[in-house]
Amino acid sequence: MSSGADEPWDPIGPPGPQVQRPRRVPHFQRPAPPRDWRWVVGGIGKTLVVIGLLMFAFVGYQLWGTGIQTARAQNTLQSDFERLMASTTTSPATTTTTAVTDDTVDAPVVTSSTVPVAPDGPPIPDGDVLAQLLIPKIDLDWFVVQGIGKSELQNGPGHFVETPMPGQLGNAAIAGHRTTHGAPFGDLDELAPGDLITVIMASGAGTFTYSVTSTIIVEPSEYVKVIPTVDPSIATLTLATCHPEYTSRQRLVVQALLVPELSDQVMAPPSNTAPTETSPDDTLPADDTLPADDTLPADEVTTTAAAPTTVATTDTAAADDLAQVDDGFSGGWFDDTAAIVPTLVWGLALLAVAVGAYYVGKASNRLYVSFIVGCIPFLIVLYFFFENVNRLLPPGL
């Protein structure tokens, strides 16, 4: 009889009973859970998770998805701009005017006794392309539309129709989004005195370069302090956007002065839109300054002088219009009532896609089939659902 000492040692030992893992039951073959309090709590939890995911997706749509619509609009505006530039010629009439001097502004002014008058053509419809806006400091290259309504600013920066055109005497003003719809003015706060802003007019009026002079913060109701023309003998530019970022509580305003040496011939506005002279009494604080030489690069601008920003008092109606101007950043919930029905329709379509994908997966007895079949249609319908929901929200939300 062997003692077992000569038998090889088996570290595993004798084979035991084989343990088999239970076969995973497909999702659609599992028994229904009991309808007790745990089922209720679980349902509430799943619902909150889905709502949370949709909210995160909507934030992503606002920050990046809205840029898809704006990019399509900019492509159309670029085509319109190139067509107008190729077909438009400018032959401004010339008239004799007297330049108004302002001893408080230490900056170049128009001193010629003859200034071309811009052609008094038909008004540009809101939403049509007006100009190309270039700011090398922040890599900005956008096409500007006429008007600053909500629908206009969704396509790009918009020109305040109450102000002169860029390249004309007076203060031309442009507004643009800072976060959504491509955020054309997202980096506007990075501009400093001396930075250059170039505007190329689609009308063929020319190319005009402005030098940044100051940046200020105002309340939404205070456009009347920064939009009216200060001195009808000089050409200035104002850019406005929301402030702080991701809100519309205030407005960030960048002011700039025309650089004659880098611009085409400045023109006087047509007689029916001539800038209104303003009273020197209502001025902003003296810390809103203009550089002494706007033709110098930003690092060479060393001297500044106070530049009064005044409110037009000779035309009370115009001042009231500016005080109540809607720049497309303001608005309340459900202002766009025309979006209510499309929102409901796309919401039902979203629900139909989800339910349809569920039953397709159930028919194949595979849950992953539901995701494969419903993923692309769900995302497409979700985009249009978000697009209409966004129309019901305040623009600055």
Q: What is the pLDDT of residues 59-111, one digit of tens each?
A: 888 888 888 889 999 999 999 999 999 987 544 444 433 333 334 334 444 44
- Which residue shows structure tokens 């909150």? 48
pLDDT at 111: 42
pLDDT of 304 over the 90 cut? no
**CA-wise closest residue to 68 among 359, 393, 379:** 379
DSSP string, 129-150: EEEEEEEGGGTEEEEEEE--SH
> C-alpha angle with apex 372: 368 to 374, nearest 5 degrees?
110
pTM of the model: 0.70
Q: What is the percent of the chain with per-residue pLDDT over 70, rounded to a whole number?
A: 72
pLDDT at 19: 61
In this prediction, residue 285 has a pLDDT band, given cuts at 50, 70 and 90, of very low
pLDDT of 5 over the 70 cut? no
pLDDT at 9: 57
For residue 53 the two structure tokens come to: 């995911």
Tens of pLDDT, residue by residue over 184-218, are 999 999 999 999 999 999 988 899 999 999 999 99
Tens of pLDDT, residue by residue over 159-183, are 999 899 999 999 999 999 998 899 9
pLDDT of 280 over the 90 cut? no
Q: At what angle do helices 367-391 and 37-60 cross, to 10 degrees?
A: 60
pLDDT at 221: 81
- Answer yes or no: are the C-beta atoms of 169 and 52 closer than 8 Å: no
Q: Is the peptide bond before 260 cis (omega within 30 degrees of 0)?
A: no
- Which residue shows structure tokens 């343990």? 19
- The one-character DSSP state at 329 is S
For residue 183 the two structure tokens come to: 């955020």
Let me know if 99 is exposed, middle or buried by CB neighbors in 10 A (0-12, 13-18, 19+): middle
Mean pLDDT of 230-255: 90
In this prediction, residue 272 has a pLDDT band, given cuts at 50, 70 and 90, of low
Mean pLDDT of the chain: 78
Tens of pLDDT, residue by residue over 139-153, are 999 999 999 988 899
If DSSP codes are grouped into helix, strand and coil, which group holds residue 263? coil
Mean pLDDT of 333-362: 90
**CA-wise closest residue to 61 among 53, 184, 327, 155:** 53
- Answer yes or no: are the C-beta atoms of 381 and 355 closer than 8 Å: no
In this prediction, residue 231 has a pLDDT band, given cuts at 50, 70 and 90, of confident
pLDDT at 281: 40
Q: How far are the Cα atoms of 108, 147, 294, 363 from residue 312, in angstroms, in the given order? A: 22, 21, 25, 72
- Phi/psi of residue 72, nearest 5 degrees: -65, -40
Q: What is the dihedral of CA 140, 142, 148, 152, to 10 degrees?
A: -140
For residue 57 the two structure tokens come to: 């997706």
- Answer yes or no: are the C-beta atoms of 119 and 93 closer than 8 Å: yes
CATH architecture for the domain at 62-323 = Beta Barrel (2.40)
Tens of pLDDT, residue by residue over 213-223, are 999 999 888 87
Residue type, 91: S
**CA-wise closest residue to 350 among 368, 319, 375, 316:** 375
pLDDT at 14: 60
